[in-house]
Amino acid sequence: MEQRIDRIKKQLHSQSYKLTPQREATVRVLLENEKDHLSAEDVYLLVKEKAPEIGLATVYRTLELLNELEVVDKINFGDGVSRYDLRKEGADHFHHHLVCIECGSVDEIQEDLLGDVEKVVESNWNFKIKDHRLTFHGVCHRCLEQEKKDEEHTGKETNEA
């Protein structure tokens, strides 16, 4: 973790930005919650535990800065809030997401599933791909298992499309 903070610090310095205590606290929160998809408000509340005097605006400014530096990716699952996702170091593509329409959970897929698709798009549509966003909406494995259990126990029928 310290290494990654150090790396980010250097990245900031290289563009003559500073790693202030507030920024460091924000980055730490992101690192500690790498698996989640925190909104700015979420980050704010978590950072406040470490640095109670921080303002929401500073969190927004920091997240925007980290987004410009490509340390985090800003994503939007259509629920009206932006979420910030730490970019994997060395990852050459943006990971994919599985959004559960039942429990709201968001899981990540690190594998690159789009290699072939991108080749097709670039040649058939003459489009130079720089980035992609792929999100599947459906039912996660936890909810599927839960439903299966519910069926076994109650024998009730479920509606399936």
Partner DNA sequence: GTGATTGCAAATCGTTTGCACCATT
Partner DNA sequence: AATGGTGCAAACGATTTGCAATCAC
Binding residues for DNA, rule: CB under 7 A, are 16-18, 20-23, 39-41, 51, 53-58, 60-62, 64, 80-82
CA atoms within 13 A on the CB side of 72: 30
Minimum CB separation of residue 39 from a copy of itself in Å reads: 14
| Residues from 3 through 32 that contact a copy of itself (CB under 8 A) | none
Shorter beta-carbon distance to a copy of itself: residue 20 or 76: 76
Find out whether 82 and 39 touch, Cβ atoms under 8 Å.
yes
Q: How far apart are CA 53 and CA 62, in angstroms?
A: 15
Question: Which partner in DNA, a copy of itself, none is near 114 (CB below 5 to 8 A by kind)?
Answer: a copy of itself
Q: Which is nearer to a copy of itself, 27 or 99 (CB)?
A: 99
Q: Which does 10 bind (CB under 5 to 8 A by kind): DNA, a copy of itself, none?
A: none
**What DSSP state is assigned to residue 54?**
-
Residues 120 to 139 in contact with a copy of itself, rule: CB under 8 A: 120-121, 125-139
In angstroms, what CA-CA distances link 129 with 4, 62, 115, 117? 28, 27, 11, 11
Quote the CA–CA distance of 44 and 6 in Å, as a whole number. 22
Task: Quote the least distance from Cβ 158 to a copy of itself, whole Å.
Answer: 12
* Sign of the four-CA dihedral 106, 32, 28, 45: positive
Of the candidates 10, 55, 47, the one whose C-alpha atom is nearest the C-alpha of residue 30 is 47
Q: Which is nearer to DNA, 12 or 100 (CB)?
A: 12
Contacts to a copy of itself by CB under 8 A: 74-76, 78, 82, 98, 101, 107, 109, 113-114, 116-118, 120-121, 125-141, 144, 161
